[in-house]
Structure 1
Amino acid sequence: MSSIILNKAFPEDLDILQILGKETFSETFAASNSKEEMDLYLEKSFNKEKLTDELNNPESYFFIAWEEDNPIGYLKLNSGTAQTELQDHSSLEIERIYVKSSHHGKKVGQLLYEKALNTAQELNKAYIWLGVWEENHRAVSFYKKNGFEEFDKHIFRLGNEEQTDLMMKKTLNK
Structure 2
Amino acid sequence: MVAIEIKKVGLTDIRQLQEISRQTFIETFAGGNTEENMQKYLEECFTMDKLTSELTNPDSEFYFALSGNKVIGYVKINFGQAQTELKDQKALEIERIYVLKEFYGKKVGQVLYDTAVEIAKLKSADYLWLGVWEENPRAINFYKKNGFVEFDKHIFKLGNDEQTDIMMKLQLGKN
Aligning the two structures, in what range does the TM-score lie when normalised by the shorter sequence? Answer: over 0.9
CA distance, structure 2, for counterparts of residue 173 and residue 93 of structure 1: 17
2:37 matches 1:37 = yes
| Superimposed CA distance per residue, residues 25-82 of structure 1 (whole angstroms, 9 cap, x where no aligned partner) | 0000001000000000011010000000000001001000000011000000000000
Q: Does the aligned pair in 2 maintain the 1:150–1:166 contact within 8 Å? A: yes
Q: Following TM superposition, by how much is the alpha carbon of 1:3 offset from its aligned partner in structure 2, in angstroms? A: 1.1
Name the counterpart of 2:144: 144
Q: Give me the CA root mean square deviation.
A: 0.6
Q: Which amino acid aligns with 1:119?
A: I
Correspondence for 1:27: 27
1: CA distance, partners of 2:124 / 2:2: 32
Once the two structures are TM-superposed, the CA of residue 140 in structure 1 deviates from its matched residue by 0.2
The aligned amino acid for 2:94 is I
- TM superposition shift of 1:2: 4.5
Query: Counterpart in 1 of 2:74?
Result: 74
Partner of 1:59: 59
Measure the CA separation in 2 of the matches of 1:13 and 1:131: 26
- Distance in 1 between residues matched to 2:75 and 2:107, nearest whole Å: 14
Secondary structure at 2:86's aligned position in 1?
A: coil
Aligned-pair identity in percent equals 55
Q: State the Cα deviation string for residues 106-134 of structure 1 (Å, max 9, x = none).
A: 00000000000000000000000000000
1:2 and 1:68 in contact (8 A); partners too: no
Which amino acid in the other structure matches residue 48 of structure 2? K
* Structure 1 position 106 matched with structure 2 position 106: yes
Q: After the TM superposition, which residues 78-97 of structure 1 pair with which residues of structure 2 at under 5 Å, given as runs? A: 78-97=78-97
TM-score when normalising by structure 2? 0.98
Change beyond 3 A, Cα 1:2–1:170: closer
Partner of 1:116: 116
Cα displacement string for residues 140-162 of structure 1 (whole angstroms, at most 9, x for unaligned residues) = 00000000000000000001110
Secondary structure of the residue that 1:94 maps to in structure 2? strand
Q: Which runs of 4+ in 1 moved over 2 A?
A: none
2:2 and 2:106 in contact (8 A); partners too? no
- How many residue pairs match? The answer is 174
**Gaps in structure 1 of 5+ consecutive residues:** none
Determine if the alignment matches structure 1 residue 164 to structure 2 residue 160: no
